[in-house]
Amino acid sequence: MAYDTNTVEASPAPPDAGTALVEVRDLGVEFVSRESTTCAVNGVSFSLAPGEVLCIIGESGSGKSVTMRALMKLHPPKYTRISGYMRVGDHEVSACSEREMRSIRGSQISMIFQEPMTSLDPVYRIGDQIAETVIRHKKCSRAEGYARALELLKLVGVPSPERRLNAYPHELSGGLRQRAMIAVALSCSPTLLLADEPTTALDATVQIQVLVLLRRLQQELGMAVIFVTHDLSVAAQIADKVAVMYAGRIVEYGPVAKVLQHSAHPYTKGMLASTVSGHMRGQAIEAIPGSPPDMRVRMEGCSFAPRCKSVMPACRQGTPPLLTVSHGHEAACLNFA
């Protein structure tokens, strides 16, 4: 899917702290083993208002999915150290016990995973898996749970929903499995939907259908959505705000139009330059040199400095904070030129 800046629309102003549905401050996630400690997320902060869509973009290994799973507290506590503050609605997630999280997951926060075939249970029918979530959180009867499951399959555009209700995951195509996964996530009308690269495994045509579906459902149901992707064209189509992550940090943050059309961080500029566009026929694609850093090794200064063309001596002396580029637009760079 070609990236086109003409598809980017102006976004609303960032929400005030008092109106934020989601608030994350200085989030850190470390994975600990006998051999090493991997600092997967380092000091991530963002907020999200009800009904807003935030896209987190970046290369594989930048900490996008780790951040989403931290919001759901899905990382194994035995091997994970989480620091910082996380709030969703009235729930301070960072202080919730596992018992409290079980009541929040599905009802307040839901997640669409990257590969539905590994997320849906292969030995249970689709209807059973949707109805189970409804019965668990809504305390309703089995008949009411199945009625809700049928309603959801119709809502997400599954053809012949009565027949698909009794189908097993392997009997559905990739696109229908993803729609079923969306139905599971929406079953209890969550206020926050986390989507972890839900279109990566789909072909281009189905990908567009799923994106249009998610945007329509988000607008109809008034949910806030955090969408994880490495595809800039996806962010251009569905996001209100964009957070660019690199090496476990947010390096650029702001309204989608400002971030994608007036990028300030060299990493964001590099991603845009290395993206195929319709007017680039015959032109070579400019790749970002080098590789992302090893997150098991703590480094001084800006983590992008070894790959940056505009690096200065000051870049290697300390981690740059997020600095204001324009209203609502920030970048962790000492040189906006």
User: Quick one: CA torsion of 279, 284, 286, 292, rounded to 10 degrees?
Assistant: 120
Distance CA 169, CA 131 (A): 15
Q: Domain boundaries in the chain?
A: 18-108+191-278, 123-189
Q: What tens digit of pLDDT does each residue of 292-336 get?
A: 888 888 888 899 999 998 888 888 888 899 999 999 999 999 886
Rounded percentage of the chain residues whose pLDDT exceeds 90: 53
Q: Which amino acid is at 153?
A: L
**203, 120 contact by CB (below 8 A):** no
The predicted pLDDT at position 2 comes to: 44
**233, 4 contact by CB (below 8 A):** yes
The predicted pLDDT at position 335 comes to: 81
The predicted pLDDT at position 273 comes to: 84
Q: Is the dihedral of CA 250, 253, 257, 259 positive or negative?
A: negative
Contacts of 194 (CB under 8 A, 6+ apart): 68, 71, 72, 109, 110, 111, 112, 225, 226, 228
The two beta strands, 329-331 and 224-229, are unpaired
Does the domain formed by 18-108+191-278 have CATH 3.40.640.10? no
Tell me which residue of 277, 325, 283 sits closest to 6, measured CA to CA.
Answer: 277
Q: What tens digit of pLDDT does each residue of 28-83 get?
A: 999 999 888 999 999 999 999 999 999 999 988 899 999 999 999 999 999 999 99
The two beta strands, 249-255 and 37-48, are unpaired
Report the predicted TM-score, pTM, of the whole model to 2 decimal places.
0.86
Q: What tens digit of pLDDT does each residue of 228-261 get?
A: 988 888 888 889 999 999 999 999 999 999 999 9
The pLDDT confidence band at residue 276, using thresholds 50, 70 and 90, is low
Contacts of 195 (CB under 8 A, 6+ apart): 111, 112, 214, 225, 226, 227, 228
Instruction: Give the residue with greater pLDDT, 299 vs 147.
Output: 147
The values of phi and psi at residue 227, to 5°, are -115, 120
The values of phi and psi at residue 52, to 5°, are -90, 155
Tell me which residue of 18, 17, 42, 16 sits closest to 29, measured CA to CA.
Answer: 42
